[in-house]
Structure 1
Amino acid sequence: MRGQLGSVGWLAVCLGLAAWLGAGSAGAVAGEYTGMPPFVTGACTHFGQGKGLLDANLSLFTQAGIMAIRDEAYWGGVEQEKGKLVMPESYLTYIDRAVAAGVMPLTILDYANRFYDGGDYPRSAEAVEGFARYCEFVVTAGKGKVRLYQVWNEWDGGCGMPKQFHGKGDPESYVKLLRVVYPRIKAIDPAVIVISNSVCHGDAYLESLMKLGMLECCDVVSLHTYNYNGLDRTPEDWLVRMKGVDEMLRRYSGGAEVPLVVTEMGWPTHVPRGGTDPEESGSFLARLYLLARTLPYIKGIWWYDFQDDGWDPEENENNFGMVRADLTPKPSWFAMAGVSELVRNAEFVERLDAGDPNVWVLRYRYVDGRQALAVWIAYPDDDWQVALRNAAATPAPVKVWRVGDRALDRAWGTRRWYEKGAPTAPDTLELTVRGRPWIIEGDLAAVTVAGLTRREFPEAMRPKNVVLHVPGGAGSATVVGAPVREYAMGDERNCRRLVETARKDVSDLDASFHVTYDRDRLMVTVTVTDDAFCQTFAGEDTWKGDGIQIAFQAFAGDDMPPSTAYTELDVALTATGPFVYRRHAQSGAEPGLLPAVQLQANRDGTRVVYELVLPVAAVDLPPLVRGTVIGFSLLVNDNDGGERKAYLHWGDGIGGGKNPLLYSMLGME
C-alpha cells in the first residue's frame, strides 16, 4: 500500500533522527536546531493505559506510514511505593515491540504522584526532586531505544490530574520544574531530545512560558492545536495560527527558528456539536499534514489519536481515532496512508498561483528529482475544475490519485467537448476537486495553473445534508416604557463548572436579566447574586474574574454578515470602576475599550447589578424596530478567589468556544 514504512523508510527515519539528535544539546537557544529531521508523521496511543492490541496496532501504524507513537509512563505507575521505582512491564513491552516494528517511541513523563504535594503538581523541593528521579529512572530504562521525551502533557489544562487541580498548572512552576529536570535527563543520555509541555490553553500561555525562559531548558517546543469545536476549524485556519506562533517564538530566540512539534491534533468524528463527518476528518488530516510541510519550523505532528477509545457516538474522546475501537480503518487512516510518503520524504517547494486564495496547489520535490503537486479547494461546497498546463516539450505521463484512493496513470491532454468549438489542449490536464486533496506525481517542473472553473455541485442541497440553524433559546426585548421580561439564568442546566467544587446551589451563584430597546439603543440589565465577589483583573483579562460577557450578531438587512461574524464585550466592576472591553467586533473593528457604551455597575453585599446602555452602532446592530431579531448570548463568570471556577449562560457560543451559531435569538416586541 502507498505510504507503507518499510526498512528503507525506517533507515531514512533513523538517519534523520541522528541528525536531529546531533544538533546542539544545551537547550533550545537560537541557532542550535539546523540538524532536526525534516518531519515526523506520528500518532498518539494509549498502550500505557492497557488499551489496544499491540502488534495489530503497530502493523496498521507501519502500513499507514506512521513513523512515531506517543505514549506515557506515568509517575504514579512507576513509583507506586514511595522511594521505590519499578518500570511497568507493559511499558517495556510496547517500547521493545515498537522499536522492533520500526516505529519511533515518544515517551511522556507526566502527571502527579500521591506521595508528593498531596497529588498536586510537583512544586515543593521534595516533589520536584521526586519527579526528577522518576525522569532519570525512565530515561535510563529507555536508553538506546527511546530518544524523544516530553516533560508533561497539558500542564496548563490539568489533563491526568485530579479534578480539583484542573487549570491550576501555572507557568512559573512548570519552568522551575523543567530547569531541574532538563539537565538531569541530558546527563543520563545526551542523545535524547527533550520536548516541552504540550500547551493546550492557547498561545498566550505559551508566550508566558517564553517570558520565563523556557527555551533555555528544552530542545523543542510543543503545542496542542485543536480547533474542531470553533469557527476557525479548518487546516487552513490552523496554518494562519501556526504562522503567528512562529512570529511569537522568534521574539524570544533572537529571530532564530524555534523547532515546534504538534503532539496532539485531530478532528473527532462524534455526532453532536463539534463532531466532524469521518470523510471530512480524513480530508482535514491530509490537508493538515500537507500544509505543515510548508512551515519548516514544524518538525512533526502526532495525530490524536490512533484508535477510538470506545463506541459512544456522542462522546468526543471515543471518536478521535484513525481506526475504530476494533481496528477497522476510518477515512483518516486511508488519508494518512495516502500522504505519509509525500510529507515524510519530499520537501516543500512553492505554492502555485491559482488566482484564488481558497484554491491550494502546492509543489513538493523528492530527493530523486520527482515532483508532486497537492491540489484541493478550501471552499465548503461545490466542485472546482483546476486546469494545469505543462510547458515541457514532451510532457510525460503522471501518477494521479485522490488521497486515500488508488493511483492511476494519466497522460497530458484535455478536450472540453461539452463546450462548443473547444479545441484539444495536449499540454493540459484538468481535475475537478473538492476538499479532499489530489496528488499528482511525475516530472512537473514546467507545470503552472492555467485556469479555474467553478462547477456548481452543492452537496448541502441533498436532503440528508440539510443543515438548520436551531438557536439554543429565544427571548424578547420590550420597548422602553413597557413591562420588562425577566429571564432567570440560575437553572442547573445553565451552569458550566470549570472545577469540581464550583457552585453548590443558587446561593453560591445566581443571575437574571432583562432587555429593553428603542430604535438606536439596546438596554441590558443583569442582576448577579454571588456569595464571594472577586475581580482583581484588568484590561482584556477581566473575564477571568467576576463579571459578565455579552455577545451579539446582526441578522437583518441585505448586508447580513456571514455566520462567523459577531460582537463580544467583557463587562466588569473593577477596582477602578465599571469597565467595558470590546473583545471582537462584527464590523472588524480592533479590540479595545468601548467608551460609547454606558455602564453603571453597583455592588450591594452579595448582589451586583450591571446596567448597560448600548448604542446599536457601537455594537454592530441595525436600528431596532418591532420584529427585529438578533443573535444574543450572555455569560456570568464566577471567581471566588484565585481562578474562574464556573459560569452561568443564556445562549452559548462564548465560554466553550467562540461560535455565534450557538447564540440564542432575541426578538424585539
Structure 2
Amino acid sequence: TKGVYKVSPTFDRFLRIARPEYGCEPLVILDYSNALYEKNRSVETETGRQAFAAWSEFMARTYRDTVRYWEVWNEPNTNHFWEPRSNPAAYARLLKATYPAVKRGNPDAVVIAMATAGLDLGFIENVLKEGAVGSFDAVSVHAYHYPAAPEQGGRTMVEHLGELVELLARYGAAGTPIFNTEVGWPNQDDPRGVPEHASADYLARMYIQLYAIPEIKANLWYDFQNDGTRRDFNEHNFGLLHHDFTPKAPAIACRMTSMMLRNTRFVRRLETGAANVHAYQFAHADNRTLVAAWCVIGTASLTTRWEGAPLRSVSASGPIRPIRARGNLVVTELGTTPLFLEGRGKVECLPAVVTPGSAVSAPRHTVEIPMTLHNRQTRPVTGTQTVEVPDGWLGPAAKQIDIPPEKDAGSTLRITVGADAVIGRTYPIVLRWRDDAGELFGVESAAVSIRPPATLSLAPMWTPQGFALVLSGRSTLEPPPVILRAEVKGMETWGGQTKTILEKIAWVAADESRFRVLVPCPPGAVNAHAAEVAAELRLADGNTVTATREISFWRPLQKTMTADGSTADWKGVPTIPVTIFDGLHQDLWKDAADCSALLQLAWDTQALYLCLRVTDETHGQAYTGTQIWKGDSIQLALSQQSEPGVSSGSRTEFGFALTPTGERVFRWTEPRGPVDAVTCSIRRDGGETLYEAAIPWSELGIAVPSPGTTLGFALVVNDNDSGIREGWLRLFNGIAWRKDPSQFGTLFF
C-alpha cells in the first residue's frame, strides 16, 4: 500500500541492538525501487523519487537514535542494480530528493552517495556534473582490486583512490569523507581467487596504506562469513570466517592490524630505497613509534635506525617477538605479511644492501639472474652469501664475499628450475648475507616467473575438404624447444581415442618461434556440438604442454524460416542436443526429463533463425525486463570473430521468456532493453516449451554473413522449477558464470 511502511522484526531488532550490545556502527543502504511506483529496479519517475524520499525520511526518523550512516542505493553504475541501464542523471536526481528528506528525519545523519561497483570515476564524475555536490555528506565506492595485490595491477589502490580525492576536489567537494563500503579478496579455486594467506596479507596491507589517506574514513570487508561451501564460487569465499564460523587467516590479520593501529596517527611513508619494500610510520601519544613494513613479493631486509630503544615486533599473522638490535640498528627480515616494529622516538630507514634481478624460465630449464650487492659503509664487508631455492631446484653453494668500502659487487646466480614448478607462478630465490660474526646484514629475493616453454591453442576451421582442427604453437623460450610428438584427443568427436598427430614437428621456417598445422576431422565432426578437444605437446626437454577447449563444427542451414509456433519448416535442419547442466543448485536437477533441450539454427540474408525445444516438467517465470534470466528462459549470445574460434571481444546477448504477460525479448547489450523487431513465438505444451525466433542481422549488429564468415555463439537454458533459478543447460560457456566471448563456440557460414 502506498505510504504504508513496514520494517521486518529481525532487521528492526538488529539495528536497535547493534551499537549498545555489539559495539557496531550500522551503515544502512537505502534501496531499491518499489513496484507500486517503478517498472524496473531503478527510480526514474518524479512520483517514484518522492516516494523513495518519503520512505528514506521515515527510516532516518525511525532509527535516528541507532543509525547515523545512510547509503543511497547499491552500485547504481551497473545495469544489474539500476535497470534497464545505468543512468547518472537519474541517480543525481534521486540524491537531490533523498538528501533533504533524510536530514528532515535526522539532521545528524550522514548521507553517503555513489556506492559504485569498483572505482567508477566516470560514473561519479557524471553524477557530479549533474549538480549533485551538496546532496551528500560522503562518497562510497566498492574498491575491489582482486586478484591483484593492493600495490599491483594497472593502478595501485592508493593511486586509484587518490584520483577519486582529486576528482571530488575539482568539483568543489575537497575533503569529502570516502567510505570504501565493499572490498575483499575471495579465496575460490579459479584464476580470480587468491590463497587464504594472501587475502590476509592483502587485508592488512590495504588497511595500513589507506589509513594514510586522510579522506578515507572506513574500509568495510566483504564479507563477514563465507556465504556457502562451494570452492569454485567467489560469493562463497569472501568471508573473514568459514561457513561454519571458524576463523580464516584474514580474521587474524584484521584483529592484529586493528590492534596495532588503534589510537595511532599516520606520520609518513618511509623511503626504503627498494620498490618492493613498503614501510609506513605511525605515532602513539606516549612517544612510541610504530613502523609497518612488508615486501610486495618474496623476501627482503629492512634496516632501521632508532632514536630510542626498539621494543618489539608484531606480525599481522599473530606472532609477537622482542626486537634484537645492534646498538640502535635493527635488521629485519620481511615477507609479504606486514610486520609492525615498535620503539621510541624517531626512526629512519637505511638504503637497501642489494639490487635484485629477475628472470623468466620454464620447468627443467637453467636461468641466470644478475645481482648487485652494495656496501654503503666506510669499512669492508666480509661474510657469507647463501642462496635458498624452492624444493627440487638447484642453486649455487654458499660462498664468501668481500666488498671494499663504498663499492658495489656484481654477481650472477645460476639456477636450475625444478620439474614440479607450476606454470604461471613466480618463485622467490632468497639470498642472505651474514657478516663474519654471523649477524644478518642483508636479505633479498630474486623473482623467477615460470612460463610454459611453449603455448598451444586449438581452433576449428572449414576447408574445401571439410572441417579441420587448427593446432598452433608458439615458443616462449630461446632457443625454441624441440617437439617430440603432439597428440589430440576429442572426447566426443574422436570417440575418446588418442591420436598422434605429428612426430618431431619442425618450427615454421619464417618464424622459428611458431608452428601451425591442420588436423583433418573425421566425417562425424560435422555439426558436432561442444566437442571437448584436448591436445598435448611432448617436448625434448621433458616438459608437456596441453590445451583443452570446447569446439563446435557447425554450419547452420541457409533457409528462410517462420517463427509461428510450428516446427514443420524445421524438418531436415540439423539438431544439436543441449545436455550440460550447470549452476549453483545442480543437485536439484534430476535428469533429461526435468530439463533438456534440442537446438536448431538456420539463416538467410534477413535474419538468424532459432528453434529450441525444451523439455521441462514445470514452467516458472514471474520476472520481466532485465530479470527474466531468473525464471525459465533462454539466453543467446553471438560475437564477431577475427578468425575461426578467435573472438573480437564484443558480443550481443538476447533473452527470450514466456512471462505472465506473454512472450518477451530482452537485449542485455547496447542498445539495452526490450526488442520489438525480433519475431518471437514461445508455446508451452505439456512438459515442453517451444521457442522460435527470427532475429534480424541489424538487431544483432552484425553484417549479413558472407561465405567464410564465422561467428561466436553460446546458449543458456535457464531452469526455475521451485521459485529459484536452479541452474541452466548450456551450449558453451561465456554467458552464465561470466561474460566471455572467447569461450563461445563457432558458427561457419
Q: What secondary structure is seen at the aligned counterpart in 2 of 1:179?
A: helix
1:438 deviation in Å? 0.2
Sort the Cα spacing of 1:128 and 1:526 in 2 relative to 1 into closer, same or farther, 3 A: closer
1:304 deviation in Å? 0.6
Q: What secondary structure is seen at the aligned counterpart in 1 of 2:66?
A: coil
Note if 1:217 corresponds to 2:135. yes
**Partner residue of 1:117?**
38
Sort the Cα spacing of 1:289 and 1:526 in 2 relative to 1 into closer, same or farther, 3 A: closer
Tell whether the 8 Å contact from 1:388 to 1:451 is kept in structure 2 after alignment: no
**Partner residue of 2:268?**
350
Distance (whole Å) between structure 1 residues aligned to residue 286 and residue 713 of structure 2: 58
Q: Which residue identity lines up with residue 11 of structure 2 in the other structure? A: Y
Q: What secondary structure is seen at the aligned counterpart in 1 of 2:26?
A: strand
Distance (whole Å) between structure 2 residues aligned to residue 200 and residue 489 of structure 1: 39
1:475 alignment partner, one of 454, 458, 480: 458
1:130 deviation in Å? 1.9
Note if 1:446 corresponds to 2:347. yes
**Partner residue of 1:337?**
255
Distance (whole Å) between structure 1 residues aligned to residue 323 and residue 127 of structure 2: 51
Sort the Cα spacing of 1:115 and 1:91 in 2 relative to 1 into closer, same or farther, 3 A: same
Distance (whole Å) between structure 2 residues aligned to residue 88 and residue 524 of structure 1: 48
**Partner residue of 1:239?**
158
Tell whether the 8 Å contact from 2:640 to 2:647 is kept in structure 1 after alignment: no
Q: Which residue identity lines up with residue 142 of structure 1 in the other structure? A: Y
State the TM-score, normalized to the length of structure 2: 0.53
Q: Which residue identity lines up with residue 176 of structure 2 in the other structure? A: V
Distance (whole Å) between structure 2 residues aligned to residue 456 and residue 85 of structure 1: 66
Tell whether the 8 Å contact from 1:526 to 1:609 is kept in structure 2 after alignment: no
Tell whether the 8 Å contact from 1:389 to 1:450 is kept in structure 2 after alignment: no
Tell whether the 8 Å contact from 1:634 to 1:650 is kept in structure 2 after alignment: no
Distance (whole Å) between structure 2 residues aligned to residue 652 and residue 463 of structure 1: 34
Q: How does 1:16-27 map to 2 (within 5 A)?
A: none
Sort the Cα spacing of 1:317 and 1:208 in 2 relative to 1 into closer, same or farther, 3 A: same
Q: How does 1:190-589 map to 2 (within 5 A)?
A: 190-200=107-117, 202-229=120-147, 234=152, 237-253=156-172, 256-379=174-297, 382-390=298-306, 392=307, 395-413=308-326, 426-453=327-354, 466-467=422-423, 474-475=457-458, 499=626, 510=638, 513=641, 515=643, 545=670
Note if 1:156 corresponds to 2:251. no
Distance (whole Å) between structure 1 residues aligned to residue 61 and residue 713 of structure 2: 50
Distance (whole Å) between structure 1 residues aligned to residue 250 and residue 647 of structure 2: 47
1:604 deviation in Å? 8.2
* Greater strand proportion: 2
Q: How does 1:6-21 map to 2 (within 5 A)?
A: none
**Partner residue of 2:89?**
172
Tell whether the 8 Å contact from 2:305 to 2:329 is kept in structure 1 after alignment: yes
1:509 deviation in Å? 5.1
**Partner residue of 2:67?**
146
**Partner residue of 2:51?**
130
Sort the Cα spacing of 1:340 and 1:223 in 2 relative to 1 into closer, same or farther, 3 A: same
1:92 deviation in Å? 2.5
Sort the Cα spacing of 1:292 and 1:456 in 2 relative to 1 into closer, same or farther, 3 A: farther
Q: What secondary structure is seen at the aligned counterpart in 1 of 2:64?
A: coil
What's the CA shift string for 1:283-332, capped at 9, x where partnerless?
00000000001211111111111111111111111111111122211111
Q: What secondary structure is seen at the aligned counterpart in 2 of 1:364?
A: strand
Distance (whole Å) between structure 2 residues aligned to residue 528 and residue 270 of structure 1: 27
1:456 deviation in Å? 5.3
**Partner residue of 2:374?**
none
Q: What secondary structure is seen at the aligned counterpart in 2 of 1:104?
A: coil
Tell whether the 8 Å contact from 1:412 to 1:427 is kept in structure 2 after alignment: yes
Distance (whole Å) between structure 1 residues aligned to residue 70 and residue 79 of structure 2: 19
Q: What secondary structure is seen at the aligned counterpart in 2 of 1:451?
A: coil
Range with greater deviation from structure 2 (175-184 or 103-112): 103-112
Distance (whole Å) between structure 2 residues aligned to residue 658 and residue 361 of structure 1: 39
**Partner residue of 1:181?**
98
Distance (whole Å) between structure 1 residues aligned to residue 149 and residue 266 of structure 2: 28
What's the CA shift string for 1:23-61, capped at 9, x where partnerless?
xxxxxxxxxxxxxxxxxxxxxxxxxxxxxxxxxxxxxxx
Q: Which residue identity lines up with residue 175 of structure 2 in the other structure? A: E
Tell whether the 8 Å contact from 1:260 to 1:298 is kept in structure 2 after alignment: yes
1:206 deviation in Å? 1.7
Distance (whole Å) between structure 2 residues aligned to residue 501 and residue 291 of structure 1: 42
Q: How does 1:34-113 map to 2 (within 5 A)?
A: 81-100=1-20, 101-113=22-34
Distance (whole Å) between structure 2 residues aligned to residue 144 and residue 131 of structure 1: 21
Distance (whole Å) between structure 2 residues aligned to residue 529 and residue 217 of structure 1: 37
Tell whether the 8 Å contact from 1:282 to 1:335 is kept in structure 2 after alignment: yes
Tell whether the 8 Å contact from 1:484 to 1:515 is kept in structure 2 after alignment: no
1:459 deviation in Å? 8.5
1:253 deviation in Å? 1.6
Q: Which residue identity lines up with residue 368 of structure 1 in the other structure? A: D
What's the CA shift string for 1:444-497, capped at 9, x where partnerless?
41332343456755599798872457999823699x99999798699989x99x
Q: Which residue identity lines up with residue 165 of structure 2 in the other structure? A: D
Distance (whole Å) between structure 2 residues aligned to residue 309 and residue 378 of structure 1: 29
Tell whether the 8 Å contact from 1:372 to 1:442 is kept in structure 2 after alignment: yes
Distance (whole Å) between structure 2 residues aligned to residue 526 and residue 260 of structure 1: 34
1:113 deviation in Å? 2.2
What's the CA shift string for 1:152-186, capped at 9, x where partnerless?
11122256x5xxx6562311111111111100111
State the Cα RMSD in Å: 4.9
Distance (whole Å) between structure 1 residues aligned to residue 703 and residue 652 of structure 2: 7
Distance (whole Å) between structure 2 residues aligned to residue 135 and residue 203 of structure 1: 26
Tell whether the 8 Å contact from 1:117 to 1:124 is kept in structure 2 after alignment: yes
The structure with higher relative contact order (CA 8 Å, sep 6+) is 1
Task: Report the number of matched residues.
Answer: 463
**Max radius of gyration: which structure?**
2
Q: What secondary structure is seen at the aligned counterpart in 2 of 1:215?
A: coil
Tell whether the 8 Å contact from 1:157 to 1:200 is kept in structure 2 after alignment: yes
Q: Which residue identity lines up with residue 246 of structure 1 in the other structure? A: V
Sort the Cα spacing of 1:396 and 1:86 in 2 relative to 1 into closer, same or farther, 3 A: same
Distance (whole Å) between structure 1 residues aligned to residue 216 and residue 167 of structure 2: 14
Distance (whole Å) between structure 2 residues aligned to residue 484 and residue 228 of structure 1: 41
Sort the Cα spacing of 1:87 and 1:477 in 2 relative to 1 into closer, same or farther, 3 A: closer
Distance (whole Å) between structure 1 residues aligned to residue 650 and residue 3 of structure 2: 54
1:124 deviation in Å? 2.0
Sort the Cα spacing of 1:113 and 1:388 in 2 relative to 1 into closer, same or farther, 3 A: same
Distance (whole Å) between structure 1 residues aligned to residue 178 and residue 280 of structure 2: 22
Distance (whole Å) between structure 1 residues aligned to residue 84 and residue 455 of structure 2: 27
Percent same amino acid among aligned pairs?
A: 23
Tell whether the 8 Å contact from 2:150 to 2:202 is kept in structure 1 after alignment: no
Q: What secondary structure is seen at the aligned counterpart in 2 of 1:279?
A: helix
1:410 deviation in Å? 1.8
